């Protein structure tokens, strides 16, 4: 039974009606707002603009994330503000660099528990010497920290060199014979679209090297590759010119090979798997139009390149990964730019035609995009734009899926190039986490370039060097489950400042999420430069959620708890319900903000 003390039933009814009226108004505001503060997957990202197919909607003056239903509003904010303490680097994320990128003496300045240099030459020296004594290229492999002993067996990739340094042949493709069995028979060199000899002889060579290391007592934790030759039409035409042959010579030799009918069937299946109408896009004409494939917009050229890419990755797994994994079952292995892209078109990102695919060709077991155990995309801070010219895209199909407007690929002029580069990077990395149906999505290693890389946009040109965008990019990446950083120092630092700066950045990340499971990523929704005014990445850390907020446009912090940001046009956002700003002393970047919230 209800008892009304000090208030009549009529007055109570009036109060309730007024309260319901205000609640309805609030709900109406949330419905009309272009974003509800939580994002499409609960991430906290705002949809502040819509696609060009819809009329734009006016943004409200304030977008506030609704409180979690099971909590009293404000209780989580107070808890985050008063009780959160960083975990203090429960684990330290390793950083692997290359033997020729760190000058002598610098490695000794870096923390041994984090930095390591994979050993480069395995075929030129005895495995026992590599393990026990090292060489002029590197300290003994056994002197690297336990758990960080890695190899990058560059000289064991090839059968007889790479064809560019005085060797008589190309190092991974079969020999291609024109007019076999006739008086005019001649070799075009090792340039065929098949790798049978490489798979057989290369595997035997790798078995020998791995066996020697194992017998010498070597302990191997990492196997890192940097394979960048995918046998696309571009590389084939380049190699033909070097060898003095024509594309027509190549075409005739390929279709005369007894393996061509099988390859033709596989290419046709690959075209169908990519969504093409195979009555239009097929290889039944025996490469008659191959001269038109390298135009940049040829469906056949695209299918050829993607299929060859997958076959090379499959061969690398067979030749290199499997012999080492058989002896070192816990080895962590990856190859540069081998990763799975997310569903088209949401996670599509501007990419070179020889880079990792935007739409993997799913042809049964014939397609493999990941080498070894980990994905390894790069995050060099590039937008892949050629000056002011629009990006030229190799679209995967004509009308299925529909072509995207160039605005999907080319950033507008009202955002900084650094912000655009970060958006492109997050589209790639989140796509690798989301994956595609039927394809595994292994954990991430991440390639980063030195912060003075001349093609990177992380460090703005002109004036005093500002490394905050470099740090900001790594902060976001670190919240996407990166298990190992692969460091390419293009300028070969002479004083170690670049390496020390990277160490400090990773230290700042690890104080929040170091040692966490890579599947603790909170935000996987795609981002877009014509919609997202800010970027939000996050990971779960025990009973807390950790976020990084980076605005893409000018503004200021209005409140720290709950964290509220106001853009220059007056719009405000509360990106994380119950989230409070956490300030880090001597942070490596003041462009964004760390936000902590109780685990939902």
Place of tokens 């912000």: 419
Question: Which DSSP state fits 474?
Answer: H
Mean pLDDT of 264-273: 90
Question: Which DSSP state fits 456?
Answer: -
User: What percent of the chain is modeled with pLDDT above 70?
Assistant: 66
pTM of the model: 0.80
Which tokens belong to 112? Answer: 């041994």
Does residue 556 carry a pLDDT above 90? Answer: yes
Which tokens belong to 425? Answer: 């990077």
The span from the CA of 468 to the CA of 497, in Å, is 15
pLDDT tens for residues 275-330?
Answer: 788 898 899 999 999 988 876 567 888 889 888 888 889 899 999 999 999 999 99
CB 233 within 8 A of CB 304: yes
Residue 51 neighbours by CB distance under 10 Å: 13
Whether the CA torsion 200, 205, 209, 215 is positive or negative: it is: positive
**pLDDT of 423:** 87
Does residue 395 carry a pLDDT above 70? Answer: no
Mean pLDDT of 457-470: 75
Mean pLDDT of 481-504: 82
The span from the CA of 32 to the CA of 349, in Å, is 30
Does residue 493 carry a pLDDT above 90? Answer: no
Mean pLDDT of 363-368: 40
b/e map 156-169, b = 16+ CB within 10 Å: bbbbeebbeeeeeb
Place of tokens 């061509």: 260
pLDDT tens for residues 218-254?
Answer: 999 999 998 888 888 888 888 888 888 999 999 999 9
Helix pair angle (233-243, 247-256), 10° resolution: 110
CB 577 within 8 A of CB 525: no
Q: 452: buried, middle or exposed (CB in 10 Å: 19+, 13-18, 0-12)?
A: middle
From first CA to last CA, the distance across the chain in angstroms is: 35
CB 316 within 8 A of CB 405: no
Helix pair angle (468-478, 497-513), 10° resolution: 40
13: Cβ contacts below 8 Å, ≥ 6 apart: none
**pLDDT of 102:** 56
Mean pLDDT of 153-182: 69
Helices (H), strands (E): how many in the chain?
13, 17
Which tokens belong to 495? Answer: 């004083």
Q: Facing residues of 178 across strands?
A: 186
Which tokens belong to 230? Answer: 């995918």
Q: Which residue has the higher pLDDT, 530 or 168?
A: 530
The span from the CA of 525 to the CA of 44, in Å, is 10
User: What percent of the chain is modeled with pLDDT above 90?
Assistant: 32
**pLDDT of 405:** 44
In this structure, the strands spanning 563-567 and 555-560 are antiparallel
Whether the CA torsion 208, 211, 216, 221 is positive or negative: it is: positive
Q: Which residue has the higher pLDDT, 409 or 329?
A: 329
pLDDT-derived band of residue 349, with 50, 70 and 90 as boundaries? low
Question: Which DSSP state fits 116?
Answer: E
**pLDDT of 461:** 67
The span from the CA of 312 to the CA of 103, in Å, is 33
**pLDDT of 66:** 31
Q: Facing residues of 487 across strands?
A: 448
Average pLDDT, the chain: 75
Does residue 52 carry a pLDDT above 70? Answer: no
CB 583 within 8 A of CB 73: no
User: Which stretch of DSSP H or E encloses residue 82?
Assistant: helix 75-83
| Nearest Cα residue to 360 out of 386, 342, 335, 334 | 342
The span from the CA of 274 to the CA of 302, in Å, is 10
Mean pLDDT of 54-74: 35
Q: Which residue has the higher pLDDT, 239 or 573?
A: 573
**pLDDT of 137:** 57
pLDDT tens for residues 99-142?
Answer: 455 555 666 677 777 888 777 666 666 777 778 776 655 678 88
Does residue 450 carry a pLDDT above 60? Answer: yes
């Amino acid at each position: 039974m209800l008892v009304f003390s000090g208030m009549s039933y009529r007055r109570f009814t009036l109060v309730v009606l007024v309260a319901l009226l205000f609640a309805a108004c609030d709900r109406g505001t949330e419905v009309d707002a272009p974003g509800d503060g939580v994002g499409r997957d609960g991430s906290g990202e705002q949809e502040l603009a819509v696609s060009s197919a819809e009329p734009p909607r006016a943004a409200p003056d304030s977008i506030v994330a609704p409180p979690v239903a099971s909590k009293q509003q404000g209780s989580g904010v107070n808890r985050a503000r008063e009780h959160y303490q960083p975990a203090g680097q429960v684990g330290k994320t390793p950083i692997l660099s290359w033997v020729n990128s760190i000058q002598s003496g610098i490695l000794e300045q870096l923390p041994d528990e984090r930095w390591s240099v994979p050993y480069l030459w395995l075929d030129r020296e005895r495995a026992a010497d590599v393990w026990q004594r090292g060489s002029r290229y590197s300290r003994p492999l056994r002197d690297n920290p336990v758990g960080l002993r890695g190899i990058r067996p560059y000289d064991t990739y090839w059968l007889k060199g790479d064809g560019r340094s005085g060797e008589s042949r190309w190092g991974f493709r079969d020999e291609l014979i024109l007019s076999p069995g006739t008086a005019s028979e001649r070799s075009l060199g090792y340039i065929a679209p098949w790798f049978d000899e490489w798979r057989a002889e290369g595997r035997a060579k790798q078995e020998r090297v791995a066996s020697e290391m194992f017998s010498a007592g070597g302990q191997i934790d990492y196997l890192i590759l940097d394979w960048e030759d995918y046998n696309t039409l571009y590389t084939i035409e380049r190699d033909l010119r070097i060898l003095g042959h024509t594309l027509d010579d190549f075409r005739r030799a390929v279709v005369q090979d007894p393996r061509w009918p099988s390859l033709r069937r596989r290419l046709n299946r690959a075209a169908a798997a990519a969504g093409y109408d195979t009555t239009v896009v097929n290889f039944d004409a025996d490469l008659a139009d191959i001269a038109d494939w390298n135009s940049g917009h040829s469906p056949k050229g695209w299918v050829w390149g993607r299929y060859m890419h997958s076959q090379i990755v499959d061969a690398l797994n067979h030749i290199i990964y499997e012999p080492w994994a058989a002896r070192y079952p816990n080895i962590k292995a990856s190859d540069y730019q081998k990763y799975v892209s997310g569903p088209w078109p949401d996670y599509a990102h501007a990419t070179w035609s020889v880079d990792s695919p935007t739409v993997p060709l799913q042809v049964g077991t014939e397609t493999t995009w990941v080498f070894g155990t980990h994905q390894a995309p790069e995050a060099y801070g590039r937008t892949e734009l050629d000056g002011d010219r629009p990006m030229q895209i190799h679209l995967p199909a004509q009308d299925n899926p529909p072509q995207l407007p160039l605005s999907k690929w080319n950033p507008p002029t009202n955002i900084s190039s650094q912000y655009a580069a970060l958006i492109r990077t997050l589209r790639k990395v989140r796509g690798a986490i989301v994956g595609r149906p039927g394809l595994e999505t292994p954990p991430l290693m991440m390639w980063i370039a030195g912060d003075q890389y001349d093609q990177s946009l992380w460090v703005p040109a002109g004036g005093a060097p500002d490394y905050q965008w470099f740090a900001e990019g790594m902060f976001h990446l670190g919240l996407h489950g990166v298990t190992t950083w692969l460091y390419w120092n293009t300028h070969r630092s002479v004083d170690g400042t670049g390496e020390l700066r990277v160490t400090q950045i990773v230290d700042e990340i690890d104080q929040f999420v170091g040692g966490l499971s890579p599947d603790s990523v909170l935000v996987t929704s795609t981002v877009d430069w014509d919609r997202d005014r800010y970027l939000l990445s996050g990971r779960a850390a025990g009973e807390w959620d950790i976020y990084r907020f980076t605005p893409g446009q000018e503004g200021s912090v209005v409140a720290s708890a709950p964290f509220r940001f106001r853009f220059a046009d007056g719009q405000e956002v509360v990106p994380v319900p119950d989230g409070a700003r956490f300030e880090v002393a001597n942070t490596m970047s003041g462009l964004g903000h760390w936000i902590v919230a109780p685990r939902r």
